[in-house]
Amino acid sequence: MATIGEMAAGVAHELNQPLTAIANYAQACSRLLSRPGTDPSELQQALSEITAQTVRAGEIIRRLRGLARGQESERELVSVNALVREIIGLVECDARAHGVSLSLELADRLPEVLVDTGQIQHVVLNFVRNGLEALASRQDGTGQLVIRTALSEHDVEIAVIDNGPGIAGEAAGRLFDPFFSTKESGTGMGLATSNTIARLHGGSVGYRAALPAGVCFYILLPAKSTA
Partner 1 sequence: MQEPAAPTIYIVDDDEGVRNSLRFLLKSVGLLPRTLASAKEFLETYKPTQPGCLVLDVRMPGMSGLELQQQLNLSGAIIPVIFITGHGDVPMAVEAMQHGASDFLQKPFRDQDLIDRIQRALERDARNRAALAERERIRASFDSLTPREREVLALMTRGKPNKVMAAELGVSQRTVEIHRARVMEKTGAASLAQLVRMAMDQES
Q: At what angle do helices 190-200 and 40-71 cross, to 10 degrees?
A: 30
Using CB under 8 A, which of the segments 94-102, 105-113, 151-159, 180-188 binds partner 1?
Answer: 180-188
CA 92 to chain centre: 16
Q: Note whether 19 binds partner 1 by CB under 8 A.
A: yes
The one-letter amino acid code at 120 reads I
Only segment of 123-131, 144-152, 185-193, 215-223 that touches partner 1 (CB under 8 A) = 185-193
Contact positions with partner 1 (CB under 8 A) in 27-86: 27-28, 31-32, 45-46, 49, 52-53, 56
The region that residue 218 occupies, defined by phi over 0 for left and psi between -120 and 50 for alpha, beta otherwise, is: beta
Judged by CB under 8 A, which of 1, 3, 4, 12 binds partner 1? 12
Closer CB to partner 1, 20 or 103, in the complex = 20
Q: Are 163 and 214 in contact (CB under 8 A)?
A: yes
- Shortest CB 196 distance to partner 1, Å: 18
Nearer to partner 1, 136 or 150 (CB): 136
CB neighbourhood size of 216 (10 A): 19
133 contributes a contact to partner 1 by CB under 8 A: no
Q: Given candidates 1, 3, 4, 16, which one binds partner 1 under the rule CB under 8 A?
A: 16
Rounded distance between C-alpha atoms, residue 15 and residue 156, angstroms:
35
- Dist CA 127 CA 143 (whole Å): 15
> Which amino acid is residue 92, in one-letter code?
E
Q: Is 9 in the site for partner 1 (CB under 8 A)?
A: yes
* 205 and 219 Cβ atoms separated by less than 8 Å: yes
Work out how close the CB of 20 gets to partner 1 at its nearest, in angstroms, rounded to a whole number.
4
What residues make contact with partner 1 under the rule CB under 8 A? 9, 12-13, 16-25, 27-28, 31-32, 45-46, 49, 52-53, 56, 179, 181-188
